């Protein structure tokens, strides 16, 4: 299939700005593992980059159900798949294709710190 082993470097940092706040950021770069799809296969893969950020807020339970602190974790990530074009022969039934795009995700979690 022509797949290649790749190295995916990641970088992340975390900073405790205050006893109630922790900030995080990170990113990675991932080369495509497939060759250009000029033949009969159609394995779509892009050179991609990602950036992410997050924060943890620690506070006392406003409902006073828990005796210890509660943490609210928030995070966001964007993945950028660089455009890639595969050129097929005119007789190929699937034809040529250009693909890529961006994915944005958000997450939230509440934790009890005991």
Confidence check: pLDDT of 36 > 90: no
pLDDT over 90 percentage in the chain: 57
Residue 9 and residue 31 in contact, taking contact as beta carbons nearer than 8 Å: no
CA angle 25, 27, 28 (to 5 degrees): 160
Backbone CA torsion sign across 18, 19, 20, 24: positive
What pTM, to 2 d.p., does this model score?
Answer: 0.79
> How would residue 63 be classed by pLDDT, with cut points 50, 70 and 90?
confident
């Amino acid at each position: 299939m022509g797949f290649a082993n790749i190295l995916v470097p990641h970088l992340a940092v975390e900073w405790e700005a205050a006893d109630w706040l922790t900030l995080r950021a990170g990113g990675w770069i991932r080369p495509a593992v497939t060759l250009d799809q000029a033949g009969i296969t159609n394995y779509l893969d892009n050179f991609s980059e990602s950036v992410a950020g997050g924060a943890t807020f620690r506070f006392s339970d406003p409902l006073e159900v828990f005796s210890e602190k509660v943490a609210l974790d928030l995070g966001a990530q964007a993945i950028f798949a660089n455009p890639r074009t595969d050129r097929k022969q005119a007789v190929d039934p699937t034809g040529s294709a250009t693909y890529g795009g961006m994915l944005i995700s958000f997450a939230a979690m509440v934790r009890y710190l005991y």
